[in-house]
Amino acid sequence: MTAAVHSGVRLSGRRSRKKNRRLRWKLAALRFCVIGIAGLFAVNYLYQVVRKPVEILAPVSAALAKNPHATWQNYGHLFLEHSTHIISSDFLAALAQAESDGNPIARTYWRWQWSWSPFEIYRPASSAVGMFQITDGTFAESRQYCIRDHAVASAGSWHDLNACWFNSLYARVLPSHATELTAAYLHRKVNEILSARPGAKATLEQKQRLAAVIHLCGAKRGESFAARRFRVKTGELCGSHDLRRYLQKIELLKKHFSRLAGN
């Protein structure tokens, strides 16, 4: 009887130890999974920061958003300095407010998407950076231009006083650089599109609507917009943006900044 009891106790002890071992293995496997997933996220984050360094400023980015009055107070002199006869100071201010709330280090949201590349699954939705949300492609092209005495100039020789100097050092997160590049790029693109349609005449308001379309949708969509005599198609989108609403927003902000400039 006593032997049977001892045997039962030993059997129960072995079962308990097996259960404990299985539990420890499961917990260890869970820990490895958690550590592995955290490691993948960390590697992905570092990769995205190398590709788009402004992401490292994410914790403080929202604090730099401004209302229209603060945007004009801080950057109105830049909008005035880099304006042209097409890209006016109030239009530049409206773009900056619509795109980033006047935030010089504004960034895009991150999104999930299926991809065979592990670094494309979770990443910033766009390469856009800064107060005007300038993308990599636009940045590369616009760095060829600058503003001299409210007119667009191109990169040239160092001894040419009217040429652009040191454009390779420009950064999208510096408000003065971003404003100058945006004004020069949009002015030039508007002129290119309109000069390709010699019979077309455009008012300043239409030219600025075209500039806003180019900024949001790209130059190709700008060409189509000009070909339709500056009319928006019903339900027309640029990415996730309703184009008609975007243009209405720009127009309202322009009027607001015109009043601020007058004061």
Q: Model confidence over 184-242: pLDDT tens digits? A: 999 999 999 999 987 778 999 999 999 999 999 999 999 999 999 999 999 999 988 99
Number of helices followed by number of strands (H, E) in the chain: 9, 6
pTM of the full predicted structure?
0.84
Looking at the chain, which runs of residues are DSSP E strands? Answer: 110-112, 122-124, 145-148, 151-154, 237-238, 241-242
> Range with the lowest mean pLDDT among 29-43, 63-77, 100-114, 214-228?
29-43
Helix 89-100 × helix 243-262 angle, to 10°: 130
Backbone dihedral angles phi then psi of residue 191, each to the nearest 5 degrees:
-65, -40
Helix 175-195 × helix 68-81 angle, to 10°: 60
Q: Model confidence over 141-194: pLDDT tens digits? A: 999 999 999 999 987 766 676 788 888 899 999 999 999 999 999 999 999 999
- Please provide the average confidence, as pLDDT, over all residues in the chain: 88
DSSP bridge pairs for 238: 241
d(CA 110, CA 116): 18
Residues 6+ apart with CB under 8 A from 188: 145, 152
d(CA 189, CA 210): 9
Collect contacts of 206-211 with beta carbons under 8 A, ≥24 apart. 206/230, 207/86, 208/86, 208/87, 208/88, 208/91, 208/250, 208/254, 209/247, 209/250, 211/86, 211/87, 211/91, 211/186, 211/187
- Would you give the distance in Å from CA 66 to the centre of its chain? 17
DSSP state of 9: H
